[in-house]
Amino acid sequence: MASPDTHLWLLAMQKLKSIIDSATWILVPLPDSHHAISTCWTFKVKHLASGALDCPKAHINYDKTYTLVIQMEVLRLLLTYTVLHQLAVHLMDVTTVFLHTNINKEIYVCQHEGFVDTEHPNWVCRLNKSLYSLKQAPLLFLWNHMCLHSVQGGNLAIISIYVNDCLIITKPAIKNILSNKLTMKDLSIAISILSININYNHISRLMQLHQYGHINKLL
């Protein structure tokens, strides 16, 4: 791997351990009636709203696909509700999001380069759970984990899911409840969502939305 950031990519590849620990697959001989999906490593860099490097990412048969992305009208409505009720907008990332759902098809995947089982190098991975590279993965996750709103003790919590990120409009305590259910990364107060920057002054109750950074990137 010829890159000055090789050590970062190798660290990102270790995320495969969390996949293995989640019993995502079992190693089996490939049945004659099936073929195995080939795999390859793909690398990308994820940035924070400020433009700073967040973390490097390494990722590795379907009939239905779907990815939930919040509509702009809904986003504006939720942010307006936030200002009116003086709530905070939080962001949380669901770690290894699609590994929380069982697969609904019999799918086999080749072992990953650099992580081939030495005792069974010719065997393949029969999936028990979904993977990022499967096109139906977002749909499987949302079938089981989609939550729009909840009212407990008179407090309203609104959770908008887009792919594996959660926009949460409520009091901070709800984040602890979510973290007890799923492995999540707290991204703190939302300052950017879907390439839209959010400037929110709680004291004056003014919110400004802009896309200066995204526009400059396109130019």
Q: Domain span at residue 89? A: 6-218
Q: Within a domain: residue 27?
A: yes
The 3-state DSSP composition of the chain as helix, strand, coil percent (nearest 5) reads 25, 30, 40
For residue range 27-80, list pLDDT tens digits in order: 999 998 888 877 766 666 565 555 555 554 544 443 444 445 677 788 888 889
Q: Within a domain: residue 33?
A: yes
SS3 9: helix
For residue range 88-108, list pLDDT tens digits in order: 888 877 765 555 566 767 888
Q: Within a domain: residue 170?
A: yes
Q: Within a domain: residue 123?
A: yes
Determine the number of helices (DSSP H) and then strands (DSSP E) in the chain: 6, 13
Number of domains in the chain: 1
pLDDT confidence of residue 182: 67
C-alpha distances in angstroms, 190 versus 153, 165, 198?
25, 11, 7
Q: Within a domain: residue 1?
A: no
Q: Give the pTM.
A: 0.49
Nearest to 120 by CA among 213, 26, 216, 214: 26
